[in-house]
């Protein structure tokens, strides 16, 4: 987790300025592609140092989705209409940690009672 968060802190130092120069869409597509590749590399890594390296790189490539979101909102909506999208984006980050355990508990309970793999 530490290496992922270090990468998540280092990624915006690269992807933020690059997204201003070449565009956010290119940065998003490039970063999400590398994010997937580095996560697969984490799964097949032969030892812990290699796993930590790919975990760091995965964090770097996962950061533009969060760090460039404000820039995307500014690009899409004019200044007079940004308040509602900005509030919804902020609520997603605030309510995610609150609602995730509730949703996870509900999903676990439903999957236990309706799963064909678990005998009744």
Q: Is the pLDDT of residue 44 over 80?
A: yes
pLDDT in tens, 23-33: 999 999 999 99
pLDDT range class, residue 116, cuts 50, 70, 90: low
Give the pLDDT score at 114: 66
Higher pLDDT: 50 or 67? It is 50
Please give the biggest Cα pair distance in the chain: 58
Q: Note if the pTM is more than 0.85.
A: no
pLDDT range class, residue 119, cuts 50, 70, 90: low
From residue 57, alpha-carbon distances to 68, 74, 87, 94 in Å are 18, 28, 30, 26
Alpha helices (runs of H) in the chain, residue ranges in sequence order? 2-22, 24-43, 48-62, 64-67, 69-76, 83-114
C-alpha closest to that of 16 among 72, 54, 56: 72
The domains of the chain are located at 2-76, 85-114
Give the pLDDT score at 7: 93
Averaged confidence pLDDT in the chain: 89
Q: What is the mean pLDDT of residues 46-68?
A: 93
pLDDT in tens, 81-101: 999 998 988 888 788 889 989
Share of the chain above pLDDT 90, in %: 55
């Amino acid at each position: 987790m530490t290496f992922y968060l270090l990468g998540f802190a280092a990624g915006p130092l690269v992807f933020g300025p690059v997204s201003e120069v070449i565009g956010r869409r290119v940065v998003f597509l490039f970063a999400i592609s590398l994010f997937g590749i580095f996560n697969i590399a984490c799964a097949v890594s032969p030892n812990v140092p290699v796993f930590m390296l790919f975990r760091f790189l995965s964090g770097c490539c996962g950061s533009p989705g969060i760090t460039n979101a404000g820039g995307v909102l500014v690009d899409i909506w004019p200044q007079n209409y940004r308040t509602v999208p900005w509030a919804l984006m902020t609520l997603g980050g605030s309510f995610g940690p609150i609602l995730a355990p509730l949703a996870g508990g509900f999903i676990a309970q439903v999957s236990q009672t309706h799963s064909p793999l678990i005998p009744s």
